[in-house]
Amino acid sequence: MTVIVSWAVASHWLIGVPFDLLFRARKCEPQEIADLEAIVDVNVRRFTGLTDSAGPLLLGFITFVLVGLGMGGFYYGSEMAQGLFILGATLTIVIIQNARVAHELRASPLAGPALVSRLFRMRVWSQIIGMIAIFFTAMYGMWFNLDALYLF
């Protein structure tokens, strides 16, 4: 359940922009587009400011946590650490995607339908990553349970 809720939230918020706002802006009404552009501008500055100032520190911390979870899960056999590692590693891919798109939008800002199209493509890729992660998690869980069943 945690995996599904995590992926639902991750695919709903694109660079901190809620998907319903993006969906409303798809109709190309001036006020909806202006709202989307304003929120994207604020969140792009927020994301890029964070990654510019604390990027290496965040990268080191995330790597430390993922390595610790990976070692605890796969070397020492902790099921909870395995689950958290799989969830954390795949969500990290989406976070990196958000940061990359934020830097792209800072370098060359988009507006109107081009911005809506770019964010929709980003959402599709987030959902593809989520589907692969959920599938992998389900397959790994089944393999783990079947392997534990045949040990006795």
pLDDT per position as a tens digit, 119-133: 999 999 999 999 998
**What pLDDT is attached to residue 143?**
87
Host domain of residue 54: 2-150
Q: How far apart are the first and last CA of the chain?
A: 28
Distance (Å, rounded) from C-alpha 4 to C-alpha 137?
11
Under DSSP, the state recorded for 13 is E
Ranges in the chain, pLDDT < 70: 151-152
- Written as six digits, the tokens of 72 are 């605890």
**What pLDDT is attached to residue 26?**
86
Distance (Å, rounded) from C-alpha 65 to C-alpha 46?
24
| Sequence-ordered alpha helix ranges (H) in 73-112 | 79-107
pLDDT per position as a tens digit, 58-75: 999 999 999 999 999 999
**What pLDDT is attached to residue 23?**
85
Q: How many domains does the chain have?
A: 1
